[in-house]
Structure 1
C-alpha cells in the first residue's frame, strides 16, 4: 500500500518502537480485549483470574521484548516471553487442551492491534510485522506443547508397562509374574528388573513366569523369556514357565525352540504345585527329618 502524502515512512528500525507505542498507549484496554478473545475459545475451563494473570504477564514481557530486542523473538530480550509461553504450553498440555486451543491463546494477540479503516499505511506496516512476530511465537508454543504431550504419553506408556507386569508373592519363597500381551525387549527389561527386585525383597528362590496371557510365542519371545530365567538363576532362583497351551507347544516345536532344563507347565496351578514340592524337597534332610 503506498504511503499517504505527508506521512513519513516507517523504517524497519522504527517498527518496534512504533509497536511499543501502540501497545502501551491503551495497554489496559488492549490486554482486556486479548483476555476476552481467549476466554471465549477456552469456554470457562480456566478461571478468568488465572487467564488474566497469564496473558497480562505475557503482554508485559512482549512489550519489553519489543523495546529491548526489536522483532527478533529469539533474542535474549524475549527470554521471559519464551519462558512464559513454555509454561503456558506445558500447562495446557497437562490440562488436556487441544493444540488449536493452546495456539489460539497466543495468536489471538494479533486481534489486539487489528487494523481498521482509519489505520495509517505506516501503522499497517507495523501491524504486519507484529503479526509475523506473533505467528513465530505461536509456532514456538506449539513446539513446546508437542514435546510436552510426547513426554506425557511416554510417561503414561511406562506406567502402563509397570502395571501390566506385576510380581505377585504366591507362597513363602515363591513369586509369580503373570504376563499379558506382547513381550518385547523394553517390556522384558521391566519384567527382569521387577522380578529380580522381588526375589531380593521377598527372599524367594522360586519364580513362576506365567505366559497364559501372551497371545503367541515366537523365537524372539522365547529369547526374552530365556534371558529372564538366566537373570533369575544368577540371583539364586529357579524359574518355571507356565501357561504352555497346545497351540504354543506346537509353535515351539515347529520353531525348534529349546528351553533346555527349564521346567514348563500348562497352568499356573501346576507350576505352583511343582514349586512347592521343590521347596519342600530342599528343606528335608536325609532320613526324612525336617
Structure 2
C-alpha cells in the first residue's frame, strides 16, 4: 500500500473545487459579519489568505510559526488589525479562519477516508491559525486602548493662557502619578513656549490627593521655579487640606489661594498689571 503525502492531501482538499471553494469561504464570512466589511475588501483579504495557505501547505508547512507560513501570518495580522480597528469582536474576527472548516464539510460527504484524515489535519492547522488571529487581535486592541488612554490623558490636562505671561492648568477628576507627570511636562513646555513667568495649578475639580500626587505637584512647582516661573496652587478643598496636614506634607514657601480668580489676581499683580475695581456701572 502506497502512503499518500500529507501535503498533497491537504492541498488536494483545498483544491477540490478550485476558486469556487474560496468564493464559498468569502460568502460564509460575509454573512457572519453582517455586511459591515465591504464585499471587495473581504474578497481581497480572504482570497489572498487562501492562496497563501495553499502555497504554504504545498511546501509541507503544518506549523503556524514555521517560515513557510510567514505569508499566511502576515495576511492574518493585517486582517486581525483591521477588524480590531473596525470594532469587531474576537469571535467575529476568528470566524474569518474557522469559516473555512464549515465550507469544507460538504466536500467530506463525497470524499474518501484519506480526505477525512486530511480534513482533520487541516482543522488542527486552522485552529492554530484562529488562535494566532485572536492573539494578534487582542494585542492590537490593547495598543488601541493604550493610545486612547494617552490621548484622553492629554485632553484632560489642558494648559490655558489666561494673560500675557500667565498660564494655568485646571485639573478635574482623579489625579494619579501618570497624570501628574503629564501635568509637569505640559506645564514646563508651556512655560517655554509662551515665555510665561506665572503659572497657576488649579485643583478645584480634584476630589482627593495622596502623598505621591502631592510630591509630584511639589516637584512640578520646584521645576517651574528653576525655569524662572512662580507657581500658585488654587482650589484646595477642605478635604484635601486635611489630607495634606494629616500626611505631614510640607507646602512651605508655596503660595496657595482659595480660588482660581484669587490666584489670577495675584499672578497679574506679580506681572505688574494694575487691577482697578469698578463699584458702579457707567451710563
In structure 2, distance between residues paired with 1:181 and 1:70: 54
Return the offset for 1:25.
3.3
In structure 2, distance between residues paired with 1:102 and 1:133: 17
Q: Deviations along 1:198-238, whole A, 9 cap, x unmatched?
A: 10111000000001111112222211110110111111111
Q: Deviations along 1:120-160, whole A, 9 cap, x unmatched?
A: 21111110000000000000000100000000000000000
Choose which of 84, 87, 94 in structure 2 pairs with 1:103: 94
The match for 2:131 is 139
| Structure 1 gap segments, 5+ residues each | 1-7, 282-290
Return the offset for 1:10.
4.7
Aligned residue runs from structure 1 range 49-128, under 5 A: 49-114=40-105, 116-128=108-120
In structure 1, distance between residues paired with 2:167 and 2:98: 56
Contact 1:179 1:209 in 2 (8 A): yes
The match for 2:278 is none
The match for 1:41 is 32
The match for 2:156 is 164
SS in 2 for 1:73: coil
Q: Deviations along 1:158-201, whole A, 9 cap, x unmatched?
A: 00000000000001110000111222221122111111111011
SS in 2 for 1:69: coil
Aligned residue runs from structure 1 range 1-290, under 5 A: 10=3, 14-114=5-105, 116-280=108-272
In structure 1, distance between residues paired with 2:262 and 2:121: 75
Select between 257-266 and 109-118 the one with higher mean Cα deviation: 109-118
In structure 2, distance between residues paired with 1:96 and 1:9: 50
In structure 1, distance between residues paired with 2:57 and 2:40: 26
SS in 1 for 2:36: coil
Contact 2:180 2:213 in 1 (8 A): no
SS in 2 for 1:280: coil
Contact 2:108 2:115 in 1 (8 A): no
Select between 263-272 and 226-235 the one with higher mean Cα deviation: 226-235
Select between 69-78 and 263-272 the one with higher mean Cα deviation: 69-78
In structure 1, distance between residues paired with 2:239 and 2:97: 57
Aligned-pair RMSD on alpha carbons? 1.6
SS in 2 for 1:208: strand
In structure 2, distance between residues paired with 1:174 and 1:155: 31
| Structure 2 gap segments, 5+ residues each | 274-283
Question: Aligned residues, how many?
Answer: 273
Q: Deviations along 1:212-271, whole A, 9 cap, x unmatched?
A: 111112222211110110111111111000001222222222322211100001100000
In structure 1, distance between residues paired with 2:8 and 2:62: 10
Select between 195-204 and 117-126 the one with higher mean Cα deviation: 117-126
Q: Deviations along 1:60-109, whole A, 9 cap, x unmatched?
A: 00000001133222221111100000000000000001100000011111
Contact 1:205 1:237 in 2 (8 A): yes
In structure 1, distance between residues paired with 2:2 and 2:149: 57
In structure 2, distance between residues paired with 1:161 and 1:96: 22
Contact 1:176 1:209 in 2 (8 A): yes
Select between 18-27 and 37-46 the one with higher mean Cα deviation: 18-27
